[in-house]
């Protein structure tokens, strides 16, 4: 077997394992903390909301980089998860996702500025996707 096939098979098994682990974690979490529909929707939409800076910077700022977006997104999601798992940080009367959005945006900008910019070919390909 070629190395590409082995890598693909390994990735498939790894993704399957991660999905099973997440499903088990969700099941165990549901046993200990009963949540109403409002709590569940707040958790879900908070996670979806953290995609907004990724999309905005990816579409409208040509200097954004993959490491900036990845690091910002991971840190913001981890902070949100820590908050919802029990660490009650002060939020000044807002949902914690608001502060995670601000932090994620700051991290994306900072990391994108300190890393090398994307190649001009990549920017040109996404700046003019239809070749006009």
In this structure, the number of other CB atoms found within 10 A of the CB of residue 96 comes to 19
pLDDT of residue 59: 85
Predicted confidence (pLDDT) per residue in 68-104, tens digit: 999 999 999 888 888 887 777 666 777 888 889 999 9
Token code pair at residue 48: 């979806």
Total domains in the chain come to: 2
| Residue 35 pLDDT > 70 | no
Measure the CA–CA gap between 106 and 104, rounded to whole angstroms: 5
| Residue 33 pLDDT > 70 | no
Q: Alpha helix (H) ranges present in the chain?
A: 3-32, 37-49, 52-60, 66-84, 96-114, 120-127
Most confident of 31-35, 104-108, 121-125: 104-108
pTM of whole model > 0.85? no
Same domain as 112, residue 53: yes
C-alpha separations of 30 from 33, 40, 46, 119, 123 in Å? 6, 11, 18, 45, 44
Give the torsion sign (CA, 70, 73, 76, 82).
negative
Q: 113: pLDDT confidence band, cut at 50, 70 and 90?
A: very high
Same domain as 55, residue 23: no
Please check whether residue 132 lies inside any domain of the structure. no
Which domain range does residue 50 map to? Answer: 36-127
Same domain as 122, residue 79: yes
pLDDT of residue 43: 78
Contact call for residues 115 and 67 (beta carbons, < 8 A): yes
């Amino acid at each position: 077997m070629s190395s590409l096939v082995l890598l693909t098979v390994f990735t498939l098994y790894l993704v399957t394992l991660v999905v099973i682990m997440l499903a088990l974690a969700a099941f165990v979490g549901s046993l200990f903390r009963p949540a109403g529909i409002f709590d569940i929707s707040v958790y879900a939409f908070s996670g979806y909301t953290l995609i907004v800076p990724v999309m905005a910077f990816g579409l409208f700022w040509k200097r954004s980089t993959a490491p900036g977006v990845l690091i910002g997104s991971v840190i913001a999601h981890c902070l949100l998860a820590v908050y919802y798992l029990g660490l009650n940080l002060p939020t000044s009367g807002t949902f914690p996702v608001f502060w995670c959005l601000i932090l994620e945006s700051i991290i994306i900008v900072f990391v994108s500025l300190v890393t090398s910019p994307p190649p001009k070919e990549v920017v040109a390909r996404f700046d003019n996707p239809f070749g006009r």
